[in-house]
Structure 1
Amino acid sequence: MKNTDDPRAWGPYTATESVDGLQVKATATPLFITWDMGDGAQVVCHTSGTPYSERYGREESPSCGHTYMEMSDPTYTVTAITTWSVEWSAGGESGVIETVTRSSQPVVIGELHALNVKPKG
């Protein structure tokens, strides 16, 4: 089983438990994440994304990204809604269900101004 405390983790996750002598096994696989960016945009990602690397510079994410066009006032609330397919089995029965998990976080989007000044002398 993968570490589910890792925010960069991307399933599948398998768990087996015994409930009243009945063994229950479930495997949850992420199908996609819908990101509500808080500025009216939604982005759907079918992978865990690509971790940022300095080599990307100002390029868009190669797998899933969003560019804010305005600063936040004071924050945007970004919500990630992950859709999961869960395969389960117990007592000779099995099936697949779909479920979602949701997490939100406020983010501040700012702007950096640069000023070039001719050196004296």
Structure 2
Amino acid sequence: MTAKHQAATYDMGDGTRVTCTTSTPWVAGAQPPGTPSPDCGHVYERPGTYTITATHRWNLSWTAMGQSGSFPLTNTASLVVTVGELASVVVAR
């Protein structure tokens, strides 16, 4: 059996829906905090609590005892996140 990821759709909880067909693996320390996503990102305009729902679509192919086939598979999960606000002041001297 082989599973190929087709896409991921994220309902960001603020009325925005983002669909991603590629993604870059996360590597600790590879990008400084605040760096935009290279593939698929979202910026919240207001602080608050949001429910993010991710739906992944896969295509599964199989072969066994001279037979083969394929079928789609979808899985969905949700997570509640709290988004804060960061403010800073830069003083030129």
Tell me if both proteins adopt one fold, taking TM over 0.5 as the criterion. Answer: yes
Which of 69, 72, 80 is the equivalent residue of 1:98?
72
Moved over 2 A (4+): 48-52, 57-60, 112-117
**Would you say the 8 A contact 1:35–1:43 is kept in 2?**
yes
Q: Which SS does the other structure have where 1:29 is aligned?
A: strand
* Gapped regions of structure 2 (runs ≥ 5): none
CA shift digits 1:35-76 (9 cap, x unpaired): 11111111111123353611xx6453221100111111xx20
TM alignment of 1:26-45, pairs within 5 A: 26-45=1-20
Identify the residue that residue 71 of structure 1 maps to in structure 2. Answer: 47
Q: Which has the higher contact order (CA 8 A, sep 6+)?
A: 2
1:99 CA drift (Å): 1.1
1:31 CA drift (Å): 0.8
CA distance in 1, matches of 2:5, 2:37: 20
Q: Which SS does the other structure have where 2:84 is aligned?
A: coil
TM norm structure 2: 0.80
CA distance in 2, matches of 1:87, 1:116: 55
CA distance in 2, matches of 1:59, 1:53: 6
Task: From the superposition, tell whether residues 50 and 67 of structure 1 become closer, same or farther in structure 2 (CA, over 3 Å).
Answer: farther
CA RMSD of aligned residues (A): 2.1
Identify the residue that residue 53 of structure 1 maps to in structure 2. Answer: 31
Identify, as 1 or 2, the structure richer in strand: 2
TM norm structure 1: 0.63
Percent identity for Structure 1 against Structure 2: 40
1:91 CA drift (Å): 2.8
TM alignment of 1:79-90, pairs within 5 A: 79-90=53-64
